[in-house]
Amino acid sequence: MDLTRTEVAKGAAAEAATGRRRGSAARLALMAVPVAFFAVFFAYPVAAIVARGLKIDGAWQFGRIGEVLAQSGVRHVLWFTTWQALASTALTLLIALPGAYVFARFDFPGKQVLRAVVTVPFVLPTVVVGTAFLALVGRGGLLDELWGVRLDTTVWAILLAHVFFNYAVVVRTVGGLWSQLDPRQEEAARMLGASRLKAWRQVTLPALAPAVAAAGLMVFLFTFTSFGVVQILGGPTFSTLEVEIYRQTSQIFDLSTAAVLTLIQFVAVAAILAVHAWTVRRRETALRLVDAATTARRPRGSGQWALLAGVLATVAVLLVLPLAVLVERSLGAPGFGYYRALTREDGGAFLVPPIEAIGNSLQYAVAATVIAVVIGALAATALTRRDAGRFVRGFDALLMLPLGVSAVTVGFGFLIALDEPPLDLRASWILVPLAQALVGVPFVVRTMLPVLRAVDGRLREAAAVLGASPWRVWREVDLPMVRRALLVAAGFAFAVSLGEFGATVFIARPDNPTLPVAVARLLGRPGDMNYGQAMALSTILMLVCAVALVVLERLRTDRSGEF
């Protein structure tokens, strides 16, 4: 009897080991598709444009890097890019951290609606953000009409637009952790005689530090690579690396300088992502968390009510007002004149009526969402194991690179690299969704990965021991638990694909413009009618993104709702 039990135990262990080996092999197979996708549609185009710029007569000219860096104009661009990113990050943290505390610790009527309102700017295309602030602080904007004040010629317009765009990153990232910290630890410190400030500084702040660092790094990354906002609000005065790469590529046709700037940005982004990955791992393993539902309570005392009122006022002025002004400017012509003008051909910047950009954007975004969800789901499944090796962790970092590497470089690289069989795609409609999917995949992975990691691994092992194939394990164990996260991921991919601008501006055909490209073209043409049509298209784009966000909020869970 004992021998039989031993044999059974050995057999079960052997089956489990076989299941684990099959799981490892399946994980590598799952990684093959995302790796191939990123190699062909990300690494290859970027390498092609860098090679085109630095390779002359078959020889690499790395001395060109020093020549470009020696140019005073390039040094100024590097300085401004870094300075404005640091300033934007500091200003965003200063303004958004009180909001993170309010969402984490306070329970008040309309909290979920306010959470959706706060998140709307993050999913808006940068072109819409730039247009909204142009309507608020630019020539003929609200501040100009009321007080004769214009900020579009100053760096403050860019900084405030970046705060507008990234406010939700801090609120969601820091507030999500803050809501799960046990408040009794700080209360215990106060009972031992510590002041409120000292207790917060010595107990809560060290616990929040990884989340604050992660949020700050993400804000720095987004502002360091800012394109649409600076392109619209910066004018000829201010230029980030991304804007300068676009100018060198599309206006001056200096691929050599553009290649050097791309390499500089790539190195900087890789360093930022490496530090971000370290802070995220520290955040995941260093804390004991409690149920977020048990930490929020109604504000008590005049100080807390004043803090809530201040956060509401900040949201109203900084986040809601620019969008309200955008809508108001789009209605400036009698009888919805700007909207009706979108249905007419003008024979200028468009070969078709601008209204067709709506249908084009929706079709492209749907195709990009399908691609991003398939690639992202495969990648997230491959990354599920926490004990994965360095190669898998490096693959995780690779998936984030499209968020920071120049989208302009990727778009122009598409035109250069994908021009020969079997990848001659320059005339194909699929080129735009492929570029948009590159930006959507990181959001899919970041949304699905925490939920997949929360699935009890013993369930997978048990299914494998019973003879289930990896595909059947995914279908019957993982999928039922992550279905909602998968829908949320699809929503995020749709929203970011809808607003992608940096790469699409190069590859969208004149007879098939997307909404962000159409807005940029209209803003680049003089005349009130063109300006009004840009406001109208931006409003439509904002509403589509807002509807997608409302759906996301209905589907969101505590695990799947973080960035």
Question: For residue 453, what are the contacts with CB-CB under 8 A and spacing of at least 6?
Answer: 384, 386
C-alpha to C-alpha distance for 40 and 413, rounded to whole angstroms: 11
C-alpha to C-alpha distance for 173 and 178, rounded to whole angstroms: 9
| Radius of gyration of the CA atoms of the chain, in A | 25
Question: For residue 511, what are the contacts with CB-CB under 8 A and spacing of at least 6?
Answer: 351, 352
Paired tokens of 283 = 């955040």
Question: For residue 341, what are the contacts with CB-CB under 8 A and spacing of at least 6?
Answer: 333, 529, 532, 533, 536
Mean pLDDT of 102-120: 82
Beta bridge partners, 467, equal: none
Question: For residue 464, what are the contacts with CB-CB under 8 A and spacing of at least 6?
Answer: 15, 16, 18, 19, 20, 22, 23, 470, 473
Torsions phi, psi of 189, nearest 5? -65, -40
Which of 412, 398, 500 has the alpha carbon at shortest distance from 442?
398
C-alpha to C-alpha distance for 248 and 238, rounded to whole angstroms: 15
C-alpha to C-alpha distance for 88 and 224, rounded to whole angstroms: 9
**Residue 297 in 3-state DSSP?**
strand
Residue 329: the pLDDT is: 86
Paired tokens of 460 = 């997978």
pLDDT digits (tens, 9 = 90+) for 398-448: 777 787 677 888 888 888 888 777 778 877 888 899 999 998 888 888 777
Letter for the amino acid at 340?
Answer: R
Residue 229: the pLDDT is: 87
C-alpha to C-alpha distance for 338 and 344, rounded to whole angstroms: 11
Which of 88, 121, 426, 77 has the alpha carbon at shortest distance from 236?
77
Paired tokens of 159 = 């900084």
Please state, for a pLDDT cut of 70, what percent of the chain lies above it. Answer: 78
pLDDT digits (tens, 9 = 90+) for 1-21: 455 656 545 554 555 445 455
DSSP letter at 200?
I
C-alpha to C-alpha distance for 503 and 45, rounded to whole angstroms: 11
> What is the CB neighbour count within 10 angstroms for residue 445?
25
C-alpha to C-alpha distance for 386 and 383, rounded to whole angstroms: 7
**Residue 106 in 3-state DSSP?**
strand
pLDDT digits (tens, 9 = 90+) for 144-154: 777 777 776 78
Tell me if 494 sits within 8 A of 562, measured CB to CB. Answer: no
Letter for the amino acid at 323?
Answer: L
Q: Which residue has the higher pLDDT, 177 or 10?
A: 177
pLDDT above 50 for 551: yes
> What is the CB neighbour count within 10 angstroms for residue 555?
18
Of 81-95, 372-386, 461-475, the one with minimum mean pLDDT is 461-475
pLDDT above 70 for 347: no
pLDDT digits (tens, 9 = 90+) for 59-74: 777 777 888 888 888 8
Residue 5: the pLDDT is: 56
Average pLDDT, the chain: 78
pLDDT digits (tens, 9 = 90+) for 230-240: 888 887 778 88
Mean pLDDT of 184-207: 71
Of 324-338, 384-398, 516-530, the one with minimum mean pLDDT is 384-398
- Distances in Å between the Cα of 30 and the Cα atoms of 27, 177, 446 are 5, 31, 17
Paired tokens of 469 = 């194939």
pLDDT above 90 for 83: yes
Nearest 10 degrees: CA dihedral of 142, 143, 144, 149?
-170
Which of 175, 219, 182 has the alpha carbon at shortest distance from 203?
182
Tell me if 495 sits within 8 A of 361, measured CB to CB. Answer: no
Which of 546, 539, 549 has the alpha carbon at shortest distance from 127?
539
pLDDT above 50 for 562: no
Paired tokens of 138 = 């630019």
Question: For residue 11, what are the contacts with CB-CB under 8 A and spacing of at least 6?
Answer: none
Residue 402: the pLDDT is: 81
Q: Which residue has the higher pLDDT, 249 or 224?
A: 224
Tell me if 129 sits within 8 A of 501, measured CB to CB. Answer: no
Residue 558: the pLDDT is: 45
Q: 206-225: buried (b, 16+ CB within 10 Å) or exposed (e) per residue?
A: ebbebbbbbbbbbbbbbbbb
Token pair 């809501």 in the structure block, residue: 179
Residue 73: the pLDDT is: 85
pLDDT digits (tens, 9 = 90+) for 362-378: 899 999 999 999 998 88
> What is the CB neighbour count within 10 angstroms for residue 276?
21
Residue 228: the pLDDT is: 82
C-alpha to C-alpha distance for 454 and 199, rounded to whole angstroms: 32
Residue 65: the pLDDT is: 80
Of 249-253, 282-286, 479-483, 519-523, the one with minimum mean pLDDT is 282-286
Beta bridge partners, 64, equal: none
Paired tokens of 532 = 């009004």
DSSP letter at 427?
T
> Residue 509, exposed/middle/buried by CB under 10 A (0-12, 13-18, 19+)?
middle
C-alpha to C-alpha distance for 532 and 523, rounded to whole angstroms: 9
Please state, for a pLDDT cut of 90, what percent of the chain lies above it. Answer: 11
Tell me if 341 sits within 8 A of 529, measured CB to CB. Answer: yes
Residue 563: the pLDDT is: 47
pLDDT above 70 for 122: yes
Q: How confident is the model at residue 555 (pLDDT cuts 50, 70, 90)?
A: low
pLDDT above 60 for 294: no
SS3 content of the chain, % helix, strand, coil (to 5): 75, 0, 25
* H/E run at residue 56: strand 55-56
Mean pLDDT of 317-323: 90
pLDDT above 50 for 484: yes
Paired tokens of 537 = 């298209």
Residue 557: the pLDDT is: 44
Q: How confident is the model at residue 167 (pLDDT cuts 50, 70, 90)?
A: very high
Letter for the amino acid at 421?
Answer: P
